[in-house]
Structures are given as C-alpha cells and as structure tokens.
Amino acid sequence: MSKIKTVGVIGAGQMGRGIAHVFAAAGYDVILTDISAGQLEAAMSSIAKNLARQTAKGLLTEADEKAAFARIKSATDVAALSDCDLVIEAASEVQAVKKEIFASLKGVLKPTAILASNTSSLSITGLAAGTEKPENFIGIHFMNPVPVMKLVEVIRGIATAKETFEATKEVVASLNKTMTVSEDFPAFIVNRILMPMINEAIYTLYEGVGSVEAIDTGMKLGANHPMGPLELADFIGLDICLAIMQVLYEGLADSKYRPCPLLVKYVEAGWLGRKTGRGFYDYSGDTPAPTR
C-alpha cells in the first residue's frame, strides 16, 4: 500500500464530520462528500466550531486550527474521491444504503485505495463482497463523538489483505487513537456488549421496574457510568440502537437480542433521541425531561 495522505469520507452526518475533523487535525488532506449540499454546509460549520473548541481548551494552537480546517474540502459527487488513498464510508446503518454507495464507487477509486466502512454492526465480509477489491476493504469503527473518544475498532473481513490491515493500523496510530481488533461477527465488540445493556434498560422501563430517571440514576451512581443507558440511547439515536439490535437478533438467532417493543414504538413515532428533540427525554426545554 502506498502511504496514505488523502482521506475521503462519505456521509457528512455526526460520524462523518467527526472523522473528517480528526483526520484533518492529524495532518491529512480530507474530502468530505454527501449527496446533500445543505448537510455538507452544516458539517463544515460544525467542524469549524469543534476545532475552535479544541483551541479554546489548549488542545490545538490557532495556527493548527486554521490549517486543519483548510485541509477539508467538500463535494456532492463521489468522483471527487478519485485520488484518495483511503475512503471511509460513514452513511446510515442500513446495509442496502451502504451497498449502493460502494456500487457507485466502482471505477472511481484508484486500485491501491483502501475502502473502509464505519459500520457499527454489519458484516465487513458481506459489505466487501459488493466492492471491486474486497482485499482492500476493512472495517474502521470510530466511537461517537469521534474527536473525543480514543477507541477505534478495526475489523477484517474474510478477504481483507494483510497489507490493508497493516496500513490501517498505522493510520489509527497516527490519529493518536487506541485500536482494538474485532472478529467479523454482528456488532463486533463494543456494541455486542453495549447495545444489549441499553436494550435491557429499555425493557426495565417497559416492564415498569423503574422510571427513566431511576434507571439512569441507578446506573450512573450504582455502576459509575458517565451517562445512564437511556440518556446514552438518546445520544446515539434510537434508530441506530434498534438497527444494531436487529442485526444482533437476526445474525445470532438468539432471543436474548430481541429488540424491546418500546424501543420499536419510539422509533416508529419518530422519537429518535437528541437529533429529533425527543426520545426517552424531551429536549425542548432548558433541562432534558423524561418522557415516561
């Protein structure tokens, strides 16, 4: 693999913009793409604010902040990714959407480019099968919020080449992140453990064992978690929580991974958490208020 200098990011949502941020701050040239020009504009504004926040905390100098932001270019066409050495897909956690994106990259990327997915649960082997070079495909799962969280899960598919894996290790190290390697099983390591805990917290609410406030306070003060599981679910997005639980349930065929009916109802209602202003908490006021 040639040395990675230019990184493409597909998807300018919360994860995509965070990934673009950390690569630019680490000295890489970044091309951030999205089908929505409005989403790209919002992402660039968000990245600028987050870089400024790091400067205010003394994590970056003003010169570094300006240089990092200047390294990021945006585009609505994946053709802009043609010279990238590494391209990371950070679109919706829906297999069909991701496969459509990878199909659109055929004939666009250079032969030596590494193609990665930031998927938090889907099969890397399965996603790689729909690409031109499965040997160049790998899972690089960043944690949210990307600029703050130190962990990156790296997942090899059955066809991932050793060279792709070694190059990915170097890239993760250059971001000052800690890498864990997961086998290619549903939800990998972090979400295999985290999501069933969140799902069980929702069952605990659904069955009337405790209120939203009681459950979150219990886990924060009783288990020393920085956020309660329902608060965390709202932060992640209830649609994403449900999607991961469905991958676990379908992929492992074990009833212990069955998504809680209350989680399904909240998603059906469009109550997806912080991003929609309402989930297990209502975010319309000055202080989040439990909705149950």
Q: What is the pLDDT of residues 41-99, one digit of tens each?
A: 999 999 999 999 999 999 999 999 999 999 999 999 999 999 999 999 999 888 999 99
Judge if 111 and 255 occupy the same domain: no
Residues 202 and 282 in one domain: yes
Q: How confident is the model at residue 2 (pLDDT cuts 50, 70, 90)?
A: low
173 and 219 both lie in a single domain: no
pLDDT tens figures, 161-187: 999 999 999 999 999 999 999 999 999
Residues 117 and 223 both lie in one domain? no
pLDDT at 133 over 50: yes
| CATH number of the domain enclosing 269 | 1.10.1040.10
Report the CATH number at residue 104: 3.40.50.720
What integer pLDDT is reported at residue 173 of this predicted model? 95
Q: What is the CA radius of gyration of the chain?
A: 19
- Is 191 among the residues known to form the active site? yes
Q: Are residues 129 and 12 in the same domain?
A: yes
Active site residue 74: no
Query: Per-residue confidence at 158, pLDDT binned at 50, 70, 90?
Result: very high
> Which residue in the list 121, 191, 199, 231 is annotated as catalytic?
191
Q: What is the mean pLDDT of the chain?
A: 96
Range of the domain at 95: 6-182
DSSP E strands, the chain: 6-10, 29-33, 72-75, 86-89, 114-117, 137-142, 151-155, 178-182, 281-282, 289-290
Alpha helix positions (H), 123-208: 124-128, 162-174, 190-206
Q: State the catalytic residue, choosing from 141, 182, 199, 231.
A: 141
Q: Are residues 29 and 86 in the same domain?
A: yes
Distance from the Cα of residue 204 to its chain's centroid: 27
Active site residue 153: yes
Mean pLDDT of 113-137: 96
**35 plus 98 within the same structural domain:** yes
Catalytic entry in 120, 121, 136, 199: 120
Give yes or no: residues 116 and 221 share one domain. no
Same domain, yes or no: 43 and 21? yes
The strand pair at 137-142 and 72-75 is best described as: unpaired
Q: Which of 118, 153, 182, 199 is catalytic?
A: 153
pLDDT for position 1: 43
34 assigned to some structural domain: yes
- 21 is annotated as an active-site residue: no
